[in-house]
Amino acid sequence: MPSHTFTVNGRSVTVDAPDDLPLLWALRDLLGIRGPKYGCGIDVCKACTSHLDGEAVRPCVVPVAEAAGRDVTTIEGLADGDTLHPVQEAWLEQDVAQCGYCQPGQIMAAVALLKRTKNPTDADIDAIANVCRCGTYFRIREAIHSAAAKMA
Ligand code: FES
Ligand code: FES
């Protein structure tokens, strides 16, 4: 079985797994990192959104071999110790979450968006296209605008 070494949330990890095992499976089942959620497995729902070298990816469609030597960040690695990321703070202030299932992916997508675009429009926000079955889209928009203002 091949070994794959990469960094997750600042910690070096090695997993033994077939090259084509989805990174999401490695994170959740082999490493016990359960923030990235499984919804569809085909890059549609985006519940699993995490970062690979700082960019948003869907680990359900990233083979674990592609992560070798790279930096993976999940929702668990976003805060700096006890200090929440401004996007997480904005999420709490706007009381965004309902059932919560999609929210780790929503937050990781929002953080990546704000890296690319300091002051996103509603259209930019809607384009991230993470699905929320609870329909929290309005509060997500408000939280991203609020986080953008905090980070300006
Ligand atoms: S689980 Fe739906 S996009 Fe990854
Ligand atoms: S908060 Fe329930 S799916 Fe988004």
The residue whose CB lies within 8 Å of the most ligand 2 atoms, and thus the one to mutate among 96, 103, 128, 140, is 103
How many whole angstroms separate alpha carbon 26 and alpha carbon 72? 12
Q: How far does residue 49's CA lie from ligand 1's centre (Å)? A: 7
pLDDT of residue 103: 98
Contact predicate 90/62, CB 8 Å = no
**Taking the CB of residue 41, how many other CB atoms lie within 10 A of it?**
15
Kindly report, residue by residue over 11-36, the tens digit of the pLDDT.
999 999 999 999 999 999 999 999 99
Ligand 1 cavity residues, CB under 6 Å? 38-41, 43-48, 58, 60
**First CA to last CA across the chain, in angstroms?**
47
Give the ligand whose atoms come closest to the C-alpha of residue 62: 1
Q: How far does residue 9's CA lie from ligand 2's centre (Å)? A: 24
Q: How far does residue 35's CA lie from ligand 2's centre (Å)? A: 14
Q: How far is CA 5 from CA 1, 20, 24, in A?
A: 13, 14, 15
The residue whose CB lies within 8 Å of the most ligand 2 atoms, and thus the one to mutate among 75, 133, 140, 141, is 133
**What counts of helices (H) and strands (E) characterise the chain?**
5, 5
Kindly report, residue by residue over 99-129, the tens digit of the pLDDT.
999 999 999 999 999 999 999 999 999 999 9
The sign of the torsion formed by the CA atoms of 80, 102, 112, 12 equals positive
Mean pLDDT, the chain, rounded, equals 97
Closest-lying ligand 2 atom to the alpha carbon of residue 98? 1
Domains of the chain, start order:
3-77 (3.10.20.30), 86-151 (1.10.150.120)
